[in-house]
């Protein structure tokens, strides 16, 4: 009896507890449950790894490369007066302005009032870019479009010290310029063979974007030998485009900065971006170091860039060209035409030939062929392997200069006096003399860095009639007078065509 009472009490207790539990379950608040995980996920990506020389996976680290290179990348500040872009003349399209469409480049081309008095001080615009120190004695590489038409160039170092820079030489066809500052024992970056750059390898872009100062970004090489049609071929038909493409972030102000490998070696000079907005969109382009090296060597040795050309019009072989011309090969560079008296014609190259190799290396892309030819000098030889209607032909080509091949397209070299004064001069035609009522004169057709820009208010279009009261009718006349007055002052007399009856006088000393 006692046992039955105990069992009944236990059953009643269990029922009561169960009833209370069910009631609480259905009447409890609907607050969501909070779940604590044993391990929280990190709010960052995993560390990137790369392989060392022995094939072992090691964390990818850019710090040592950045420390090595950043001190050798400088900021370039330029001043540009309106005299270098005289109003009323046809404005040449600047392709890099399209890729860097911001106030920096609008400053380079301010709208000028056509009525401005040439005796007034011309307005000054400011611009910024980047540069790379390439040896300890102060030589710096940058883009031509950074310093073009600059009346003053200043270099700001990584430690904030500043120097006035001299423009040693420029090459618009590759968009390169060489500067020099008066300093020594500087940190610098060494160039390496850009032919060894591979798609997929890690690179750093270092420069001064968006006026932020020294900035390092990382990415990979996404393409090599890239042609982006940045040059106007009507203005510069022999321009070279064979860029290293990278997805390292490059923005306005990076122009002239360094593209380096993980060892801190220079593989390219950053030059352009492709973007619908003018800001970084994943595509940056650098001039390969092998081409940079050749241009700089030419400027230092000859004072100008000596270009060799093959003398052909070409296209990459594709299925359409194969079908239309019944070619026996499906790769290479198709020769559409050959310029008479060119390197190619003298080597026996014919239209419809296909270039397969250059110096034993397969050639399948036009930019790569153009770059390799541009790295040669007139007089050097190359070995070409051709396909001609299914027959393989090997030929040696002795390269000629652009001036010897197409003198109508070659840039005329400046005389010694033009280089010193910083001007390009032309003798007046008989028709111009008659229209202006002059018997002699030299026209200033282009104004660059030099004595005229630094010490006078002369603008493009000015006609020099006399120097120290002696009539000048040729560059030799001008040079003779200038050389005789180096120890004293020089007085220039002339006119502007718009005001032929108003004489203008400018004086300067050396």
User: Quick check: is 21 in a domain?
Assistant: no
173 and 199, same domain (yes or no): yes
Two tokens at 136?
A: 């300890």
User: Quick check: is 32 in a domain?
Assistant: no
383 and 423, same domain (yes or no): no
Going by C-beta distance under 8 Å and a sequence separation of 6 or more, which residues neighbour residue 91?
Answer: 85, 109
Angle at 474 between CA 412 and CA 406, to 5 degrees: 20
Domain count, the chain: 3
> What spatial distance separates the first Cα and last Cα of the chain, rounded to whole Å?
133
Contact indicator for 335, 350 with CB cutoff of 8 Å: yes
Two tokens at 114?
A: 């056509």
117 and 255, same domain (yes or no): yes
312 and 440, same domain (yes or no): no
List 130, 171, 173, 175, catalytic entry: 175
Contact indicator for 467, 494 with CB cutoff of 8 Å: no
User: Quick check: is 219 in a domain?
Assistant: yes
Q: What is the rounded distance in angstroms from the CA atom of residue 193 to the CA atom of residue 321?
A: 33
Please report where in the chains the tokens 């321009």 appear, as a residue.
Answer: 239
Angle subtended by helix axes 366-374 and 289-302, to nearest 10: 30
Rg of the chain in Å (alpha carbons): 33
Contact indicator for 124, 151 with CB cutoff of 8 Å: yes
User: What does the DSSP 8-state code read for residue 497?
Assistant: T
500 and 479, same domain (yes or no): yes
Q: In the prediction, which pLDDT does 448 show?
A: 74
Q: In the prediction, which pLDDT does 114 show?
A: 40
Active site residue 336: no
CATH of the domain at 79: 2.40.10.120
Active site residue 255: yes
Q: In the prediction, which pLDDT does 162 show?
A: 93
CATH of the domain at 331: 2.30.42.10
* Nearest by Cα to 164 from 176, 150, 177, 174: 150
Q: How many CB atoms lie within 10 A of CB 153?
A: 26
* pLDDT in 10s for each residue of the chain, 510 residues: 555 555 555 555 555 555 555 455 545 554 444 333 344 444 444 456 666 667 776 677 788 899 999 999 999 999 876 555 543 333 333 444 444 334 433 333 344 434 445 445 556 678 889 999 999 999 999 999 898 878 889 999 988 999 999 999 888 888 999 999 999 999 999 999 998 999 999 999 999 888 788 889 999 999 998 887 766 555 666 678 888 999 888 888 888 999 999 999 999 999 887 766 667 777 889 999 999 999 999 999 888 888 888 999 999 999 999 999 999 999 999 999 998 889 999 999 999 999 999 999 999 999 899 899 989 999 999 999 999 999 999 999 999 987 777 765 555 566 667 777 878 888 888 888 888 888 888 899 887 767 787 788 888 889 999 888 888 888 888 888 887 766 677 888 999 988 888 889 988 876
User: Quick check: is 119 in a domain?
Assistant: yes
446 and 505, same domain (yes or no): yes
Contact indicator for 248, 204 with CB cutoff of 8 Å: yes
444 and 501, same domain (yes or no): yes
Q: Please report, for residues 82, 120, 344, the alpha-carbon distance to residue 190 in angstroms, rounded to integers and kept in the order given.
A: 37, 46, 35
373 and 246, same domain (yes or no): no
Going by C-beta distance under 8 Å and a sequence separation of 6 or more, which residues neighbour residue 418?
Answer: 424, 425, 475
List 82, 214, 255, 343, catalytic entry: 255
User: Quick check: is 30 in a domain?
Assistant: no
Contact indicator for 329, 354 with CB cutoff of 8 Å: yes
Domain of 456?
A: 416-509
Q: What is the rounded distance in angstroms from the CA atom of residue 310 to the CA atom of residue 422?
A: 32
Which of 405, 431, 447 finishes a domain? 405
72 and 217, same domain (yes or no): yes
User: What does the DSSP 8-state code read for residue 335?
Assistant: E
Model confidence, pTM: 0.70
User: Quick check: is 141 in a domain?
Assistant: yes
Which of 405, 428, 454 finishes a domain? 405
73 and 214, same domain (yes or no): yes
Q: In the prediction, which pLDDT does 10 show?
A: 53
489 and 369, same domain (yes or no): no
Phi/psi region, residue 282 (left: phi>0; alpha: psi -120 to 50; beta: rest), is: left
User: Quick check: is 10 in a domain?
Assistant: no
208 and 290, same domain (yes or no): yes
User: Quick check: is 52 in a domain?
Assistant: no
Contact indicator for 272, 251 with CB cutoff of 8 Å: no
Under DSSP, is residue 386 helix (H, G, I), strand (E, B) or coil? Answer: strand
Q: What is the rounded distance in angstroms from the CA atom of residue 222 to the CA atom of residue 219?
A: 9
Q: What is the rounded distance in angstroms from the CA atom of residue 84 to the CA atom of residue 422?
A: 11
Q: In the prediction, which pLDDT does 125 show?
A: 75
Q: What is the rounded distance in angstroms from the CA atom of residue 207 to the CA atom of residue 339?
A: 42
Q: In the prediction, which pLDDT does 39 show?
A: 40
């Amino acid at each position: 009896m006692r046992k039955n009472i105990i069992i009944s009490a236990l059953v009643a207790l269990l029922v009561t507890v169960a009833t209370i539990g069910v009631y609480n379950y259905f009447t409890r608040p609907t607050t969501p449950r909070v779940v604590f995980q044993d391990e929280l996920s990190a709010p960052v990506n995993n560390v990137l790894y790369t392989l060392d020389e022995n094939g072992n996976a090691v964390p990818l680290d850019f710090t040592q490369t950045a420390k090595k290179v950043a001190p050798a990348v400088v900021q370039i500040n330029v001043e540009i007066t309106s005299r270098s872009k005289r109003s009323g003349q046809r404005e040449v399209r600047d392709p890099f302005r399209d890729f860097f469409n911001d106030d920096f480049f609008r400053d380079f081309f301010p709208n000028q009032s056509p009525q401005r008095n040439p005796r007034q001080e011309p307005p000054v615009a400011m611009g910024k870019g980047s540069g790379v120190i390439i040896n300890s004695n102060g030589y710096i590489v940058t883009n031509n479009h950074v310093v073009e038409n600059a009346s003053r160039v200043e270099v700001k170092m990584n430690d904030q010290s500043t120097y006035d820079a001299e423009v040693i030489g420029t090459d618009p066809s590759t968009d390169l310029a060489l500067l020099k500052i008066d300093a020594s024992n500087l940190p610098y970056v060494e160039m390496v063979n850009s032919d060894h750059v591979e798609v997929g390898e890690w690179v750093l872009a270092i420069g001064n974007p968006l006026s932020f100062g020294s900035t390092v970004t990382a990415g990979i090489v996404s393409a090599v030998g890239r042609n982006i049609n940045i040059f106007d071929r009507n203005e510069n038909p022999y321009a070279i485009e064979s860029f290293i493409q990278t997805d390292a972030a490059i923005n306005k102000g990076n122009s002239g900065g360094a593209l380096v490998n993980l060892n801190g070696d220079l593989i390219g000079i950053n030059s352009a971006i492709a973007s619908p907005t003018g800001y970084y969109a994943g595509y940056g382009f650098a001039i390969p170091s092998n081409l940079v090296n050749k241009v700089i060597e030419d400027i230092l040795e000859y004072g100008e860039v000596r270009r060799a050309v093959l003398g052909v019009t070409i296209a990459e072989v594709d299925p359409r060209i194969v079908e239309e011309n019944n070619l026996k090969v499906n790769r290479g560079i198709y020769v559409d035409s050959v310029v008479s008296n060119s390197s190619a014609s003298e080597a026996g190259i014919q239209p419809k030939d296909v270039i397969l190799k250059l110096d034993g290396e397969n050639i399948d892309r036009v930019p790569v062929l153009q770059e390799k030819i541009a790295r040669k000098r007139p007089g050097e030889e190359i070995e070409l392997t051709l396909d001609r209607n299914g027959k393989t032909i090997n030929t040696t080509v002795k390269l000629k200069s652009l001036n010897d091949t197409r003198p109508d397209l070659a840039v005329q070299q400046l005389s010694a006096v033009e280089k010193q004064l910083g001007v390009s001069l032309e003798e007046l035609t008989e028709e111009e003399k008659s229209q202006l009522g002059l018997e002699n004169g030299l026209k200033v057709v282009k104004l660059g860095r030099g004595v005229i820009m630094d010490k006078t208010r002369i603008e493009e279009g000015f006609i020099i009639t006399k120097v120290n009261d002696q009539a000048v009718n040729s560059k030799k006349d001008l040079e003779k007078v200038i050389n005789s007055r180096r120890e004293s002052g020089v007085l220039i007399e002339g006119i502007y065509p718009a005001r032929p009856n108003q004489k203008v006088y400018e004086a300067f000393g050396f």
